[in-house]
Amino acid sequence: MITDNKSEAHLYAHAEADMTKGKIWRVFFYLLGLTALEFLIALGFVETGLIEKSLTVVIIYILLTLWKAFYIVAYFMHLKFEKKGMKVMLAMPLVLLVYLIVLVLIEGDYIGIFLYK
């Protein structure tokens, strides 16, 4: 059994050498840039009162977060270079999460309105 695992491991060990050092550092600077952008919005615009912390700002924050998450999952966790079956297997359950998030947030908001007004 152990020998089997070993030979299997050998099979995949050198199948993916596509993340070169240069690429890794480039992704690092993307992540750093996106984080810096978030700080710019938070400290440069919202904190100084240039723009108000509205729903639009929150949506921008969330989009930047998802963008960062994409870089981490796709390049650092190497998912972009896996086979399609693997990507689909991992992405499909997340559809349910989106559904959960939308439902629960609407529900939370509704109860709030109900109590306060």
Partner 1 sequence: MNATISKLDEVKTGNWSGGTSPFKVEYGKIMMWLFLLSDVFTFTGFLVLYGAQRMFIQDTWPNPDVVFQSIPGITDTGAPLVFVGIMTFILIVSSVTMVLAVEAGHRNSKKEVVKWMVLTIIGGLVFLGCQALEWTHLHHAGFWFGAIPDSYQGEQAMGATQFSSYFFAITGFHGFHVTVGIIVNIIILLMTLSNVFERRGTYLMIEKVGLYWHFVDLVWVFVFTFFYLV
Interface residues with partner 1 (CB under 8 A)?
Answer: 5-6, 8-17, 19-21, 24-25, 27-28, 31-32, 35, 38-39, 42-43, 47, 58, 61-62, 64-65, 68-69, 72-73, 75-78, 82-83, 85-86, 89-90, 93-94, 97, 100-101, 104-105, 107-109, 111-112, 115-116
Work out how close the CB of 1 gets to partner 1 at its nearest, in angstroms, rounded to a whole number: 11
Min. distance of Cβ 51 from partner 1 in angstroms? 14
C-beta of 21: minimal distance to partner 1 in Å? 6
Q: Where are the alpha helices (DSSP H) in 55-83?
A: 55-71
CA distances from 117 to 13, 45, 75, 112 (A): 61, 32, 48, 8
Residues in Cβ contact with 18 at an 8 Å cutoff, skipping those fewer than 6 apart: 81
Are 8 and 1 in contact by the 8 Å Cβ rule? The answer is no
CB of 64 to partner 1, least distance (A): 8
Spatial separation of the C-alpha atoms in residues 88 and 17, rounded to whole Å: 22
Residue linked to tokens 């108000």: 52
Cβ-based nearer residue to partner 1, 51 or 109: 109
